[in-house]
Structure 1
């Protein structure tokens, strides 16, 4: 498990802001339970717990400027 600052990635940042938005909107229209709060824990509890802890113990470099 990582603690502290995450290493920034420009490529991943751009990808998340562009292609991800179109894919998410399409999936929301087609899959009934997609994007609803709490479904991640039902689908894969181990991954959901890991992600929750990871997001609480790490921070982005951009969080330092807020």
Structure 2
């Protein structure tokens, strides 16, 4: 887990699980988008998360879609 702690020191497992699932979904969407562009890989992948409101966060994935070929 990400080690998110509550005010009282315990890990908030539901929150950690939700964030991990959101990160995985964002990565899968990036992979599908890269495939749609004709790429077969993504390099320099970066993740970012932002708090939109008290009850909402967003997960962003950045990377460069590439076509890797054998020499």
TM-score by length of 1: 0.28
Greater helix proportion: 1
Asked which structure has the greater RCO (Cα within 8 Å, sep 6+), the reply is: 1
Greater C-alpha Rg: 2
Greater strand proportion: 2
